[in-house]
Amino acid sequence: MELIEKYFPHLDGEKREKLSLLGQLYNDWNSRINVISRKDMDHFYERHVLHSLAIAQYIQFTDETRILDVGTGGGFPGIPLAIMFPKCQFQLIDSIGKKIKVVNAVASELGLNNVKAEQVRVENHPQQYDFIISRAVTAFPAFVDLCKNKILPKNHNAITNGIIYLKGGDFNQELEEFKKRVSVTPLSNYFEEEFFETKKIIHLSM
């Protein structure tokens, strides 16, 4: 949790409390239903919480923003962001039911009333949102295809509605076809830990 406070030193009491409860909650749930690898659990606040919160460094969502987390797994990046933006609405979806079970349990134990979670494939989820957020679901072009027609046309935020995707490695080739609408931000702009050296945020305006 010190790592989170290093980069977010002005958290109010409620956010600090909820974020600091995450470690214990995921430890407990992960021992019952495995949603995070053991290796990653050892670096939970860095690799899951802080990585998710890179999106909060990139954009301060305005109140009432509607956000869909596609392929949320155990709730990343959706859960840490729902704590940071309690006045925004978060829908977290995954095709695997046991993951959604963990997300629902964590959201309810934290009293996060801005989170809804559902077991559904994104292809079968017709609602529209201001932003789709995601991490590590599929190659970017395939992901964009899965998300088409799901973005609301009216913008309420400092950046255009669209996809905000967390991705690592070299993916320039994957972005070629979107180059007029895409922006890429290295997470080393925000965080100095080695884990973030190769990680980026992709924002695609839709």
Ligand X SMILES: C[S@@+](CC[C@H](N)C(=O)[O-])C[C@H]1O[C@@H](n2cnc3c(N)ncnc32)[C@H](O)[C@@H]1O
Q: Is the dihedral of CA 54, 43, 31, 1 positive or negative?
A: negative
Please, what is the minimum distance in Å from the beta carbon of residue 23 to ligand X? 15
Is the Cβ–Cβ distance between 198 and 169 less than 8 Å? yes
Please, what is the minimum distance in Å from the beta carbon of residue 187 to ligand X? 14
Single out the segment in contact with ligand X by CB under 6 A; choices: 84-92, 94-102, 109-117, 151-159.
94-102
Single out the segment in contact with ligand X by CB under 6 A; choices: 9-17, 20-28, 64-72, 82-90.
64-72
Helices 97-110 & 13-32, crossing angle to 10 degrees? 140
SS (H, E, C) 154-166: CCCCCCCCEEEEE
Q: According to the binding rule CB under 6 A, does residue 140 interact with ligand X?
A: no
Q: Which is nearer to ligand X, 13 or 126 (CB)?
A: 126
Is the Cβ–Cβ distance between 93 and 119 less than 8 Å? yes
Q: Which residue has the tokens 């559902």?
A: 118
Please, what is the minimum distance in Å from the beta carbon of residue 36 to ligand X? 7
- What is the contact surface with ligand X in residues (CB under 6 A)? 70-73, 76, 93-96, 99, 121-123, 135-137, 146
